[in-house]
Amino acid sequence: MRKHCFDIPEGIIYLDGNSLGPPAITTAKRVDQTVNSEWRQLMIKGWNEAGWYRQPRTLGDRIAPLIGAAPGSVVLGDTLSIKIYQALAAALTMRPERRVILSDTGNFPTDLYMAEGLIKTLGQDYELRLVEPDAVIDHLDESVAALLLTQVDYRSGRLHDMAGLTQKAHSHGVVAIWDLAHSAGAIPVDLATCNPEFAAGCTYKYLNAGPGAPAFIYVRPDIADDVEPALSGWMGHAAPFGFEASYKAAPAIERMRVGTPSVLQMAALDAALDVWEGVSINEVRAQSLELSELFIREVESRCPQLALISPRNPEQRGSQVSFAFVQGYAAMQALIARGVIGDFRAPDVMRFGFTPLYIDKADVLRAVEILVDIMTNDLWDVEEFKTQKAVT
């Protein structure tokens, strides 16, 4: 759909936009401009004159339409782990008499680790209750303070029913927090209709803002002025440059800011978001499903060694497809060596992301041919592909 906006190296089929999107063609130039025309020329004046100070909000307003959020309800900053911590801490203060955080066993570990860390810090008898993804709906009751879920499972691509679960959560007075790491830029999300109190996501996956790009957080506008910020940094203060001795939260979403924003990385995000101008997320979704259905059909009929672990029903999947294979790590390394880039998640999951902004049908068919060759001829079965690297 926007292949011309990306400069993917010759011979590479990039099926890992679910982990780290590629740079847009304009990204390097935009970052260069920020360094040379803004930072170098303006130096400290850049905060006012180049709009750096406002950027976390300006960019929030650019991401908002992609996730069905109202203008002024999204702010950028920090990493997703931090944003999850902030949302969860705020949620717990909204239900002071409750002690359970409900999540599922498919959630991304950092979300669970941050919850554990928060529980330790609070020093009260909070419980992180993990249940199977399908069982979440049955565990929503009056003991639960907050529901903390990732909409799309990072391993299998299974999609939670965000609207249904949020509604059920609210019927029991549970505060809902959704992690949109694998949703934003991949599937249509309608926060305004689903109505959760909090959502957060990252911008280096489907939004292509580059490694270490800032995360975003959404707070529902009707509660935003009452939310208690656990990370009370100066950029979330009502008057950051009043330099008062004591913290006073800024109005609404502004209070979710913590410290100095990463200006260069935000420039990269701004360039990456230009790609979305005139792109319909519904069309992205439709094409992503077409590509993934094609991939599943071909792989299942030609690679009997691989077992589909993503839901077969496309309505129940995000935009990634996962296959299990005992030697999945080696097989993925063999694929990468041939220019087909996906990734691997322990213990045996080979992940393939279908991002129609820069992947088309011909790419999928070519990737399948290479995968078939590797599987049929056991080309993965060599030492060099079996030694696990730090990042898989």
Ligand X SMILES: *Cc1c(COP(=O)(O)O)cnc(C)c1O
Assess 256 for contact with ligand X (CB under 6 A): no
Give 38 or 343: the residue with its C-beta nearer to ligand X. 343
CB of 182 or CB of 351, closer to ligand X? 182
Catalytic one of 6, 204, 344, 352: 204
**Which region, judged by CB under 6 A, interacts with ligand X, from 75-83, 191-199, 325-333, 367-375?**
75-83
Selected binder of ligand X within 111, 254, 343, 363 (CB under 6 A): 111
Instruction: Say how far apart CA 40 and CA 241 lie, in whole Å.
Output: 24
Q: Which of 83, 98, 205, 255 is catalytic?
A: 205
Closest approach of ligand X to the CB of residue 141, in Å: 25
**DSSP H helical segments within 50-79, as ranges?**
55-63
Q: Residues near 363 by Cβ (< 8 Å), separated by ≥ 6? A: 13
108 in catalytic set: yes
Residue from 181, 217, 224, 296 that binds ligand X (CB under 6 A)? 181
Identify which range of 107-115, 271-279, 345-353, 362-370 contacts ligand X by CB under 6 A: 107-115
Q: CB burial class (10 A; 0-12, 13-18, 19+) of residue 169?
A: buried
Cis-peptide into 347, omega within 30 deg: yes
Catalytic option among 78, 104, 153, 179: 179
Least Cβ distance, residue 375 to ligand X (angstroms): 27
Shortest Cβ 251–ligand X spacing (Å):
26
- The C-alpha angle 19, 179, 293, rounded to 5 degrees, equals 55
Element (H, E) at 178: strand 175-179
End-to-end CA distance of the chain: 28
Shortest distance, position 337 Cβ to ligand X, whole Å? 25
- Catalytic site includes residue 205: yes
Residue 323 engages ligand X in binding (rule: CB under 6 A): no
Token pair, residue 377, equals 């001829």
Inter-residue contact 84 to 179 (CB < 8 Å)? yes
Using rule CB under 6 A, residue 392 touches ligand X: no
**Annotated catalytic, 351?**
yes
Write down the least CB distance from residue 214 to ligand X, Å: 9
CB nearer to ligand X: pick between 202 and 371:
202
The gap from C-alpha 272 to its chain's centroid, in whole angstroms, comes to 15
Q: Is 226 left (phi over 0), alpha (psi -120 to 50) or beta?
A: alpha
Q: How far is the CB of 166 from ligand X (least distance, A)?
A: 17
Least Cα distance to 234 among 261, 215, 264 occurs for 261
Does the protein bind ligand X through residue 81 (CB under 6 A)?
yes
Window contacting ligand X (CB under 6 A); options: 48-56, 73-81, 167-175, 313-321: 73-81
User: Taking Cα atoms as reference points, which of 62, 69, 42, 222 lies closest to residue 54?
Assistant: 62
CB-wise, 198 or 380, nearer to ligand X? 198
CA atoms within 13 A on the CB side of 299: 28
With vertex at residue 352, the alpha carbon angle to CA 347 and CA 354, rounded to the nearest 5 degrees, is: 155
Q: Which of residues 120-179 bind ligand X (CB under 6 A)?
A: 150, 154, 179
Shortest distance in whole angstroms from residue 353 CB to ligand X: 12
Q: Is 85 a catalytic residue?
A: no
Q: What angle do CA 108, 112, 115 make, to 5 degrees?
A: 145
Q: Which of 108, 198, 206, 276 binds ligand X (CB under 6 A)?
A: 108
Catalytic pick among 351, 352, 358, 363? 351
248 has catalytic annotation: no
**Closer of 237 and 257 to ligand X (Cβ):** 257
Q: Does 80 bind ligand X (CB under 6 A)?
A: yes
CA-CA-CA-CA torsion sign (196, 150, 218, 287)? negative
Q: List the catalytic residues.
A: 108, 179, 204-205, 351
Binding region for ligand X (CB under 6 A): 79-81, 108, 110-111, 150, 154, 179, 181-182, 202, 215
